Structure 1
């Protein structure tokens, strides 16, 4: 989508308790084919306790698409780094395209408690750093790997099948960059730091660390007019008191920096496209931009000026949604390019 400088990544649908396995696979197929048709380069595949196995979901979505890649969420408690690297190489060789990785430290408190994992927030990112270094080394070097870390040690570990991967199938790494610990790991792994941001004007005069590629996660609903876009958004994400209470509870118990930041009040002028409604009601995991195409594109231009080039967008539910997302990114890129000539 748009130029090679901007990466737009969709999201695999979440599995729901009211779905059968066949129904969920059909949702994946619909979403993946739509995302590919409208130019998304990849799809985020979730991996928390409530979801399908992400590797099976990734293999399935790759089986009926031609170009789109999975961005698979991985965390140290679920799988050894050797198995991650081997799975990446295997899927890449089978489907002849990249398999990307989204490294997470484990943000759901109850999921960590179920594993009896008591590692503190910053130390979990240290663990992710070691984890990612082993994965990258196994995928990129032909020699056996010896690694001595605090959390992981390997001696002469060799992933032979990685030698058959094509050079254009190199994995993109992403990691949450909202905290200092997450940003440090992004630098360490040469990963793209994905942030959950406030409106652009909140960052006026704030400098950002150099040496990191930046991205963000957001939902987008745009239409020809502001009124039409907001009508769609409010119909799709109505106020939900129970969902709001659940979100407030998780905000209190989470040690995630971005969860705390999005849980605090965000003040925007009337008519501004930035909206936390779906997030606050527990209906989505990120802020949204809602409005006329020009207004949404203008906010995206602001993020581009901040240095963001990777955008993880909520799964578009219709072809119209996906088309609008493509259009606003095209508009934003054109405006940004003209401003930098």
Structure 2
């Protein structure tokens, strides 16, 4: 892990300029498995390292791009311990939904919730068509769809090939997140497993009315539904068969038509092949979101960074 973090500063000396290094193509086709296979580790040590990054990617290590892992490390100043603290050591005390609500309350935009966009045409004024057949026109449009859901909209003219290819190839993330309520208050622990297990990570997060709430992740949502109590219990008992599962809860983000992914993580080769093209406007349509952020891709921070950048593009296009 120290070597990976140290290498990240060599390849990404400026984390918010991820394409700056001229020789990125030399390592962009490598996977997390490649890194840990070449590190001279014992089989058990290799399993732990791969398991840690499978949890970070929320996907199998075999499709997890090494440069994506390095980008996270570089954003944390090349310190993987700081990376873990930054990514999982702090929470919004009132929940993520409170942030969205505060943004909505502070802004002046007209919000149309539950309104599904089906098409965007740029012949004349930009026309946005919704599922109920209504149309709205605009001088500029910002699209923040997750990458895997990008092709669910009929763009006319069609999106450039790199955008369509990146969406078709999909992100590396294909996993699940489940909350597990177990009987009683238990001592803190952290569990990892290789990425061929149904769950690759679990740990206690909260206590609720005398019980403990665990958060757990797996790399393949197709193999385990986050609300499958029997399946989740079986997976948890691979680590801790002394824990009594009271209930489980979660959301299948992979099957959700508006996400079709969990948090966005790049496959090998995607950084140099697609990032610049994904960030590029398509006529009057601009693209933003955590999927295509420069720094902290996969986090709210990356979404904010991307939004600020695109806001500047739109402002310039409007001549403001």
TM-score between the two structures when normalised by the length of structure 2:
0.28
Q: Which structure carries more helix by proportion?
A: 1
Tell me which structure has the larger Cα radius of gyration. 2
Considering Cα pairs closer than 8 Å and 6+ residues apart, tell me whether 1 or 2 has the greater RCO: 2
